A and B are shown apart, each in its own frame.
Chain A
């Protein structure tokens, strides 16, 4: 008979052992899923996890790794702050879209002026757009106690409709021959987010992601706000006695995560995506939730988790072209990873004992 015994303090070993275990279990279960789809599981796993890093075309894939990881890390770092405090912003996808729209709109308003100030202004506008979109659930929660999970998520669908409207109407390229979609930032150098070092995939979004990781690390470890966030998440009552203002924390955490998601959207639309289109939103805002948990809500962990998740994206594309593996399989694979992570997390907080209670 197996029995669970609550640990007095979470296990330090399993705190970092569980993500590794979860990844291994996901590879096994994913292999079974690929086998069920009629693919050789070993080849499929190798195509996803090994070939992009060490295979024949690794020089191309390695650059892509940073391109995919940057938005995931940027969003996940923001989300992790709120998640730690028990504030569930799960509408990052919407904030990502709004950041892209705000930033792109500012850039397009300046077209074709070739000024150095254009791109910095767009960055500010992008962060502002995401922040603004996150403020809706934040204010509704602090003012009316409305559940921020539902509001932030429902706003994703609203943002997607606004995106469609922008691509078809307000931001449409006047010289695009009537096709939906904005001007391409690739042909407007003052507003483009180009690679800083050619061929590495290193663009301004990657720089921002690294800065965010370091800033969040310092915030959580060294700043009073980081302490308050952790306190509010672990002992809400104690936090209130200690003078932590819960409303202020909600506004701060939601605002930070929204702003970072907006930045991710801005860097994506000016760089890898290139323009506002109807299908610009690619689900980074949702995958970032997995990244945040996989990284144990710690900035450095999120950095590693973001790179791993980026690898599954790239490897998934690789497997799609080489093995004909459906691209949806990767999404299911990522969801599975979160399942295993949540399941094995038990080991962190509980001891598994054999035998009955003495």
Chain B
């Protein structure tokens, strides 16, 4: 079966799963951060630092695994600056998040200067043996690199922790009402710090996936707004982990489809196809936020507000 002038649906689905990984990781990390009541707009900056540091680590060590570790560490390190500023210095979260993005974009192109035009060590597929040979299903499910599966496992883990564990309950309490959580004896700032670091590590991991697998090379501004799309997906998902997964697949699908249409020489100029993921993100945001009751219910109540214990 062939649609859209020679695009094989099985390959399309397989490649949208790959395209979705960076935004899925960044969005699930940001979901945890926002569930703790913190709005970190620096996702784009943390992603691109993860992309360049992950790339550098992989090239220097020759191991993609070290690259992913390096990317996560870089993202976490940058988010630590955000945590310091917002949790200790009480800085405005919106402004600090923007600063993180601006700084990350500058620093990444500084760090990445020596890495332009290099190929990273390739990340192999998980060997599923005969499973990978099944027609269609094998292509879609069993011929991916490990990070595709890891990202889904992380979504499942975040869902389970938020829903079934005490840790998840404390995190949500801090995000809904930090004064009440503080009165109960929970360390609001410590919980938020850990959530921010987790979010940074996930964004960094997602960034490393872009430079190591999705593209794979280093160029300035490689994330091209993926961090902002991840932020939009958290809203789209109504702060629910599994919906982040579907949201990421939806946007992965759009990204892959428009690239395929460009390659297939569609009548629409390439520039208009390239802007479609951003336009569709805006459209989805509008639909999600226009429903007054749903949007108001699902956002953490203390989102974006700083907490200062007066006594």
State the A residues within 8 Å of B (CB).
4, 6, 37, 88, 90, 140, 143-147, 149-151, 153-155, 157-158, 161-162, 164-165, 168-169, 286-287, 289-290, 293, 326, 328-336, 338-339, 342-343, 345-346, 349-350, 357
| Secondary structure call for the A interface | helix
Point out the residues of chain B lying under 8 angstroms from A37, CB to CB.
Answer: 110
Point out the residues of chain B lying under 8 angstroms from A154, CB to CB.
Answer: 225, 228-229, 232, 278-279, 281-282
Once A151-B285, A157-B225 are accepted as A-B contacts, the answer to whether A330 and B106 lie under 8 Å apart by CB is yes
Once A6-B308, A150-B228, A157-B224 are accepted as A-B contacts, the answer to whether A336 and B103 lie under 8 Å apart by CB is yes
B102→A342 contact, CB < 8 A: no
Once A331-B102, A342-B92 are accepted as A-B contacts, the answer to whether A357 and B272 lie under 8 Å apart by CB is no
Once A147-B285, A153-B228 are accepted as A-B contacts, the answer to whether A328 and B106 lie under 8 Å apart by CB is yes
B161 at the binding interface (Cβ < 8 Å) = no
Point out the residues of chain B lying under 8 angstroms from A90, CB to CB.
Answer: 98
Q: How far is the CA of A277 from the CA of B76 in the complex (A)?
A: 37
Minimum distance in angstroms from B7 CB to a CB of chain A: 22
Point out the residues of chain B lying under 8 angstroms from A287, CB to CB.
Answer: 102
Minimum distance in angstroms from A89 CB to a CB of chain B: 12
Considering the complex of A and B, which 4 residue pairs feature the smallest CB-CB distances, nearest first? Answer: A335-B103, A331-B106, A332-B106, A328-B109
Minimum distance in angstroms from A157 CB to a CB of chain B: 5
| Secondary structure call for the B interface | helix
Minimum distance in angstroms from A351 CB to a CB of chain B: 12
Point out the residues of chain B lying under 8 angstroms from A346, CB to CB.
Answer: 89-91
6 contacting pairs across A/B (C-beta < 8 A) = A150-B281, A286-B102, A333-B106, A335-B99, A338-B98, A339-B103
Point out the residues of chain A lying under 8 angstroms from B81, CB to CB.
Answer: 339
Point out the residues of chain A lying under 8 angstroms from B281, CB to CB.
Answer: 150, 154
- Considering the complex, which residues of chain B in the window 214-236 have a beta carbon less than 8 Å from any beta carbon of chain A? 220, 224-225, 228-229, 231-232, 235
Point out the residues of chain A lying under 8 angstroms from B225, CB to CB.
Answer: 153-154, 157
- In the complex, how many residue pairs between chain A and chain B have their CB atoms under 8 Å apart? 137
Chain A residue at minimal CB-CB distance from B309:
A4
Minimum distance in angstroms from B114 CB to a CB of chain A: 10
B41 at the binding interface (Cβ < 8 Å) = yes
B95→A145 contact, CB < 8 A: no
B94 at the binding interface (Cβ < 8 Å) = yes
Which of B53-61, B190-198, B289-297 binds A? Answer: B289-297
Please tell me the size bucket of the interface on B.
35 or more
Minimum distance in angstroms from A11 CB to a CB of chain B: 14
Point out the residues of chain B lying under 8 angstroms from A6, CB to CB.
Answer: 308, 310
Minimum distance in angstroms from A299 CB to a CB of chain B: 19
Chain A residue at minimal CB-CB distance from B229:
A154
Over the window 265-292 of chain B, the binary record of Cβ atoms lying under 8 Å from chain A Cβ atoms (1 yes, 0 no) is: 0000101101100110110011001101
Chain B residue at minimal CB-CB distance from A332:
B106
B98→A144 contact, CB < 8 A: no
State the B residues within 8 Å of A (CB).
41, 81, 84-85, 89-92, 94-96, 98-100, 102-107, 109-110, 113, 220, 224-225, 228-229, 231-232, 235, 269, 271-272, 274-275, 278-279, 281-282, 285-286, 289-290, 292, 295, 308, 310-311
Chain B residue at minimal CB-CB distance from A330:
B106
A165→B269 contact, CB < 8 A: yes
Q: How far is the CA of A140 from the CA of B289 in the complex (A)?
A: 10
Minimum distance in angstroms from A356 CB to a CB of chain B: 12
B278→A293 contact, CB < 8 A: no
Most chain A beta carbons < 10 A, residue from B81, B89, B310: B89
Q: How far is the CA of A146 from the CA of B295 in the complex (A)?
A: 10
Chain B residue at minimal CB-CB distance from A150:
B232
Once A331-B109, A343-B85 are accepted as A-B contacts, the answer to whether A150 and B235 lie under 8 Å apart by CB is yes
B95→A342 contact, CB < 8 A: yes
Q: How far is the CA of A357 from the CA of B310 in the complex (A)?
A: 10
Chain B residue at minimal CB-CB distance from A344:
B89
Q: How far is the CA of A67 from the CA of B54 in the complex (A)?
A: 38
A338→B232 contact, CB < 8 A: no
Q: How far is the CA of A330 from the CA of B228 in the complex (A)?
A: 24
Point out the residues of chain B lying under 8 angstroms from A168, CB to CB.
Answer: 271
Chain B residue at minimal CB-CB distance from A292:
B95
Minimum distance in angstroms from A338 CB to a CB of chain B: 4
Point out the residues of chain A lying under 8 angstroms from B231, CB to CB.
Answer: 150
Residue A162 contacts which of B96, B113, B271 (CB distance < 8 angstroms)?
Answer: B271
Point out the residues of chain B lying under 8 angstroms from A149, CB to CB.
Answer: 41, 94
Q: How far is the CA of A349 from the CA of B91 in the complex (A)?
A: 10
Point out the residues of chain A lying under 8 angstroms from B94, CB to CB.
Answer: 88, 149
Q: How far is the CA of A149 from the CA of B41 in the complex (A)?
A: 9
B103→A338 contact, CB < 8 A: yes
A332→B91 contact, CB < 8 A: no
Minimum distance in angstroms from A286 CB to a CB of chain B: 6
Point out the residues of chain A lying under 8 angstroms from B90, CB to CB.
Answer: 4, 346, 349-350
Q: How far is the CA of A275 from the CA of B292 in the complex (A)?
A: 45
Chain A residue at minimal CB-CB distance from B310:
A6
A146→B99 contact, CB < 8 A: no
B95→A338 contact, CB < 8 A: yes
A334→B102 contact, CB < 8 A: yes
A4→B107 contact, CB < 8 A: no
Q: How far is the CA of A155 from the CA of B275 in the complex (A)?
A: 9
Minimum distance in angstroms from A86 CB to a CB of chain B: 9
Chain B residue at minimal CB-CB distance from A165:
B271
Chain B residue at minimal CB-CB distance from A4:
B308
Point out the residues of chain B lying under 8 angstroms from A151, CB to CB.
Answer: 282, 285
Residue A332 contacts which of B103, B271, B290, B310 (CB distance < 8 angstroms)?
Answer: B103
Q: How far is the CA of A258 from the CA of B258 in the complex (A)?
A: 30
A343→B271 contact, CB < 8 A: no
Point out the residues of chain A lying under 8 angstroms from B92, CB to CB.
Answer: 342
B109→A158 contact, CB < 8 A: no
